[in-house]
Amino acid sequence: MQVADKPELLDLMLQDLRRAPEEYRPTNYWDVHERHFLPELKRLGLHDFRRRKNSILGSFGATDLDPLQIDFHSSVVVSNPLTRKLPFHDGMLRLLNSLAHTRPLSRAGVSRLQRISPVKASIYYDIAPEDLRQMAYDYVRARAERVGARSIHELEPSLAGNPEDVFQIGDRTYTMATFFYYLEYVYCCQFIDFDDVQVYVELGSGLGKQVEVLKKLHPKICFLLFDIPPQLYVCERYLDTVFPGDVVSYQTTRDLADPPAPEPGKIFMFGSWKFPILERAKIDLFWNAASFQEMEPDVVANYLRPVNRRANAVFLHEVMHGKEVAARRGQSGVLEQTTLEHYRRALSNFELVDMTPTRKPAGNPLPHHWDSFWKRKVGV
C-alpha cells in the first residue's frame, strides 16, 4: 500500500511555518536536517518511503529497513566526529550504503563487514533472523502480560509506505519498530490505565507510529498531534492512509483558536505554533519521545508551560544527560543541552514516579535513553 502525495498540503504548512513565532520554529538540531527534507520530498515524494535507503526521513523514524543490511552511517570507522568534517563525507556514505544495499547480504558477507560497520541484529551466535524476531515477540508479549497491557496479538501494523522490515509471527504481520513502540506503551501501562485516557497530546509525533499502536489498542482516545513540517506532513499523510476518515487535517486545525472538543477516535494535526491553545485544553496524557532532547532548555520550558498547568500525566523518552552539542550554530547538535534538571523545573507541578533505561524489543537497554513517567502532585 502506498501513501499518496499531497504537495499543496506541504506547501501550506511551510508557508505557515515561515510566519510562526521563532520559539516554535525548528531549533538548530532540526534546522540542519531541514536542508535535506524538502529536496528529497520534492524529488521522490512518499512512494515506498519506508524502504528508502539513505533517506533523511529516517531521522524521525519514518523508515523501516531490513536490520540485517549494512548501514555505514552507524560505523565508527567511516562516520565519526573527525570524518564528518570532510567535505565529501555525506557522498561517501551514500555510495557505501548504496553498494551494501544492492542485494541482501549473506551471513558470511555480514561477518566479513561487521568489523567496520555494525549490523542491527545479533549474528554472534549464528541466530537466524526469524529466531531473533520470535525472541523479540516473546519478550514484548511477556512484558505486557506482567503489567496487564493489551496483548501484542491484538496489534497488527499498517504496511502503508511499503516497509522493508516485515515479518510474520503466527497469523500476524509485524515490523520491529512496532515492537519498540508497543514496549513504550507497555511501560506506561504500569502507571496509567489507557481506557481512562480521553485526550492524548504528543509533541514531535514523527511518522505517527506511536499513535498507530495506541489507537489500534485503544480506539476511543482522541489524539492532538503537534510537530513542525515536513515531519507533520509525512505524519498526516501516513495516518490518513492508515485511519481514513479519522484524521482532522492541518488544513482545518490551522484556523482553530481554541482546542477542539474531544472526539473519540479522532486525530487532530497541528503545527507546533498552535501549541498555546493547550492553555485551555484538558490533557490526560502528554507524550514526548526523543524530541525535547533536540531542543534548547528555553524552548522546552516554553512548550512545557501549558503542559505543567493542564496535563494529568506526562511520558518522556529522552537522553536525560543531554544531546551532543554543536560545534557552532548551523552544525549538527544542540546549542545547549536539555537535561533531567530542566524537566524537573519545567514540570514543577509533577512528581517523577519512575525513570528507567529504555528497552529494545530484545530486552537490552537502548544506550543513553531513558523512559520516565510523571504524575501531577496531589492537590496541585
Integer-rounded Cα Rg, in Å, for the chain is 20
Q: Are 129 and 168 in contact (CB under 8 A)?
A: no
- Domain 179-376, classified CATH 3.40.50.150, yes or no: yes
Residues in Cβ contact with 241 at an 8 Å cutoff, skipping those fewer than 6 apart: 1, 3, 4, 158, 160, 161
Beta bridge partners of 225: 202, 269
- What's the grid cell of residue 252? 482545518
pTM for this prediction: 0.86
DSSP codes, 295-306? S-HHHHHHHHHH
Q: Give yes or no for a cis peptide into 230 (omega within 30° of 0).
A: yes
- Cell numbers for 263: 472526539
CA 200 to centroid of chain Cα atoms: 15
Q: Which residues pair with 283 in a beta bridge?
A: 311
Q: What is the pLDDT along the chain (380 residues), one digit of tens a residue?
A: 999 999 999 999 999 999 999 999 999 998 888 788 899 999 999 999 999 998 999 999 999 998 665 444 444 444 455 555 565 655 555 555 554 444 444 444 434 434 333 444 444 456 788 888 999 999 999 999 999 999 999 999 999 999 999 999 999 999 999 999 999 999 999 999 999 999 999 999 999 999 999 999 999 999 999 999 999 999 999 999 999 999 999 999 999 999 999 999 999 999 999 999 999 999 999 999 999 999 999 999 999 999 999 999 999 999 999 999 999 998 989 999 999 999 999 999 999 999 999 999 989 999 899 999 999 999 99
CA distance 17 to 228: 8
Beta-carbon count within 10 A of 115 CB: 9
Q: Name the residue among 164, 142, 160 with its Cα closest to residue 151.
A: 142
Domain ranges of the chain: 15-113, 179-376
**Residues with Cβ within 8 Å of residue 179, at least 6 apart in sequence:** 136, 137, 140, 152, 361
Q: How many CA atoms lie within 13 A of 311 on its CB side?
A: 27
pLDDT at 362: 86
* Alpha-carbon gap, residue 349 to 323, rounded angstroms: 25
Q: In angstroms, rounded to a whole number, what is the distance separating the alpha carbons of residues 150 and 228? A: 31
- What is residue 256's three-state secondary structure? coil
Position 372 scores a pLDDT of 98
CA distance 188 to 26: 28
By C-alpha distance, which of 4, 169, 270, 292 is closest to 182?
Answer: 169
CB-neighbour burial class of residue 305 (10 A; exposed 0-12, middle 13-18, buried 19+)? middle
Q: Which amino acid is at 126?
A: D
Sign of CA dihedral 148, 153, 154, 160: positive
